[in-house]
Amino acid sequence: MPLSGNWPDGVGRSVLPQVDSTNAEAARRMAAFAGPEWILTLRQTAGRGRRGRVWHDPEGNFAASYLFRPEMPTAQAALYSFVTALALQEALTAATGRPDSFALKWPNDVLLHGAKLAGILLESAGPFLTIGIGVNLAAHPDADAGALRPVSLLGETGLRIAPEEFLDLLAPAFAHWQTQFTTYGFAPIRTAWLARAARLGEKITARTVTDSHEGTFEGIDDTGALLLRSAHGLRAIPAADVFF
């Protein structure tokens, strides 16, 4: 049962002691799908990040997935990465009371004091969308070469919060932003995300599988693509890794 009284109506909640991957567990539950559900594990042994990267989950960290039917085209459903980022920022602010400490990094990270705190992974299968979320609540993994420095919520703020408690903050925050998205479209999500965007108006590097682009981060368009201005003009980049 949730620890708070703000759990969204009609949304399931499963807390597992251990699982390989919450996204993999969500895929196993699709055949018996009865409604949207949050799946939280207290220990994840085979977490995954974007592009097949390993996601490390030291004990006490947050690893969860939200399984649902978005009832919209796949391309539009991909914008749920921005919905989720806003929900994470709201939940982290509620936990810490420090709204200015957090920023959102395109396309799917949440930063704390400019370092990586959380990541988001979306996976679609038929009519279903699974949103995997990892947050370094208690500890952080070692830094990968060239990657943004990782931090933990405990290490940076001194706040210790259990994964179950954090889920009770995240689920209602997600429900709020999901309602904004399904009711009003992407425009208010885009505006809110840009208000919290890391390095907006600054020089960044966006690396795709084949190319590297340097320029000024000018925002995101109505498809969620990164807008990068360089000497060659304004370019929309739909998928890339961003480096500061």
List the domain boundaries for the chain: 12-195, 203-243
User: Quick one: which of 24, 23, 54, 15 has its CA closest to 165?
Assistant: 15
Q: How far apart are CA 29 and CA 160, in angstroms?
A: 31
Domain spanning 12-195 has what CATH number?
3.30.930.10
Cβ contacts of 77 within 8 Å, gap of 6 or more: 70, 122, 124, 129
Integer Cα distance of 75 and 95 in angstroms: 32
Element (H, E) at 38: strand 37-41
How confident is the model at residue 227, as a pLDDT? 98
Task: Report whether pLDDT(209) > 70.
Answer: yes
The neighbour count for residue 110, using CB atoms within 10 Å, is 26
Q: Binning pLDDT at 50, 70 and 90, where does residue 214 land? A: very high
Does an H or E element contain 15, and which? Answer: strand 12-16
Assign residue 5 a region (left: φ > 0; alpha: ψ between -120 and 50; beta: otherwise): alpha
- pTM score of the predicted model: 0.93
Q: Which pLDDT does position 96 carry in this prediction?
A: 98
Residue 134 CA from chain centroid, whole number: 8
Q: How far is 154 from 136, CA to CA, in rounded Å?
A: 8
Over residues 7-30, the pLDDT tens digits come to 999 999 999 999 999 999 999 999
Residue-level pLDDT at 143: 74
Per-residue pLDDT of 173-202, as tens digits, reads 999 999 999 999 999 999 999 999 999 999
Burial 75-89 (b: 16+ CB within 10 A, else e): eebbbbbbbbbbbbb
The fraction of the chain above a pLDDT of 90, given in percent, is 86
Are residues 86 and 196 in contact, defined by beta-carbon separation less than 8 angstroms? yes
Residue 36, pLDDT > 80, answer: yes
**Residue 91: band (very low, low, confident or very high) from pLDDT cuts 50, 70, 90:** very high
pLDDT in the model for residue 213 = 93
**pLDDT tens column, 142-165:** 877 567 899 999 999 999 999 999
Q: What element of type H or E holds 169?
A: helix 163-184
Hey, what CATH class is 203-243 in?
mainly beta
Note the pLDDT of residue 145: 53
Q: What is the pLDDT of residues 123-149, one digit of tens each?
A: 999 999 999 999 999 999 887 756 789
Work out the pLDDT band at 49, boundaries 50, 70, 90: low
Q: For residue 13, give the H/E element and its range.
A: strand 12-16
